[in-house]
Every structure is written in structure tokens, then in C-alpha cells.
Amino acid sequence: MGSATPTRSQLGLMRVFDCILFNQEHAMLECRLTEIGDVIDKIIVVESTTTFMGQPKPHGLDLDRFYQWRDKIHYETFEPNQALRGWSAEHAQRDHLFTVLQQFSPEAQDIVTVADCDEIWHPNDIDILKDGWRGYIMKRLVMSAYWRLTDEHTMVAGPWGQRSGGAQHMRSNRERLPNLQSGWHVSWMGGPEWAANKMRSFSHQELMVADPDEFMAENYRIGRSIRGETLWEVDIADHYPKYIRDNLAPDSWYRKR
């Protein structure tokens, strides 16, 4: 009898699955794929049909826009439990990432990320992630490519076979994992109107204000975060994501005071 076909693991092969939550962030997804598209095997994109606060919202992905990566994109909509709101809704959607991922039969050595669309890791990280799960500490851009804040814990990633729970469990324990200082959290891009709508729908409802439109317009005018922090003015450098440094991003990403 002939020998059985060797598994990918036996052949020493490894796949990379980038698993993200998505909320109509088409420019951000383009930024992400420009940065990591060459090194991933599949990007799992999960988008809810409602906001985390339970309101119906647009959903869907224009694959024509992402034609060069079309064979790597797997997009699915998520129908949430309508009784869930805020963090519970967000956590349920994030846990669905691994449910979708298992359609592709990940093996123990495959690298898996658990991220938001705007948490953009670096292709060189793969060599480190082979050794175990890491919690990322990322440089943070806020509202503009020219505005920075302190680095922060964001996404997690590591070998599928070394996970200790579901997607949300892994992310919730990111500060207990060894740190990986790499990548960019490219947050709150899109302009004041977009940002005001995000405030109405995201899980941090403790930060909600009486008039989100006026609040975000002023934040964008003076360079201030939603928590009242003054953003630092910086120059775009060579280590920025390619999408930003090559001026491929929307004009709203390049705001200055």
C-alpha cells in the first residue's frame, strides 16, 4: 500500500490567517492589505448586520475594489443576538472569527491573528509569532497620519495549536501574553462626521456626549482625542504603513491643525 499523503505540518508548511472585525472600513482594509497582503494566506473578515448598540447598519464588501487580493479575502456577515448590546455584542462577533476560520481547517502551526481592521501588524512579525502567542503594543495614529498618542495594547496573534480559548478570550488576555512591540493602530480616521457616527455605535458608551457631531468636529479641529488628550503633531516617516506614506489614503487621513 502507498503511504498516506503528508499533512501540511509534516511538510513543514504554515499558513497565515488574519482574522478581523469590519465595519465598512474600506480604506482601512485597503491600508491593511497593502501592508500584509503578500504574507497572508487568507483574511477572515466578519461584519455584523447591526452596530454594537443594536441599530441596523450598512454591510457588505465591494470585492472589485480589492481585486488584487480577491483570492485571499473571505467575507461573512454576522447576525447577532438582538438581546446583546455594547461589549457583549462586540465579544460575540469577535468569537465568531474562529467559527468562520474553522471552515479552512487550520492546523496547529498555522499563524492566526485576532484584530480590529485598524490594528495593522508588520509582515516581519511572523518569525516571532511562530514561537507563541503575543499581545501587541502598537504605535498609535489618531484621526490623522500626522497625529500620535502613546503606544497601546491592541491585537493578539500566534499559532492556532497554542491558543488557550476562543478569539475574545485570547484578546482579553493580551496583557498577560509576552509583548510584541510592532505595527500601527490607525484609529479614528475618516473625518468628524464618520467619527460622530462611530461614537453612537461603539461599545465605549461611557464616552458618549450630548452632541457627538459638535464634539468630534472640535476634536478634529484642534487635534484632541475622544478622551481629551492632546495629540502630538509628527511627520510621516519611512516606517509608516505604505498606504499612508505613499499618499494612497483618503485626504481626510492627512489632516493638520
3 pLDDT higher than 70 = no
152 pLDDT higher than 90 = yes
Q: Quick one: average pLDDT of 53-73?
A: 93
Q: Quick one: average pLDDT of 8-19?
A: 80
Q: Quick one: average pLDDT of 138-151?
A: 98
> What is the pLDDT, as a whole number, of residue 1?
47
Higher pLDDT, 121 or 209: 121
188: pLDDT confidence band, cut at 50, 70 and 90?
A: very high
CB atoms within 10 A of CB 143: 25
> What is the pLDDT, as a whole number, of residue 199?
80
Global pTM value:
0.92
> What is the pLDDT, as a whole number, of residue 72?
98
125 pLDDT higher than 90 = yes
Q: What is the mean pLDDT of the chain?
A: 92
7 pLDDT higher than 70 = no
> What is the pLDDT, as a whole number, of residue 182?
99
104 pLDDT higher than 60 = yes
> What is the pLDDT, as a whole number, of residue 210?
73
Q: Quick one: average pLDDT of 97-108?
A: 98
Percent of the chain with pLDDT over 70: 93
CB atoms within 10 A of CB 145: 23
9 pLDDT higher than 80 = no
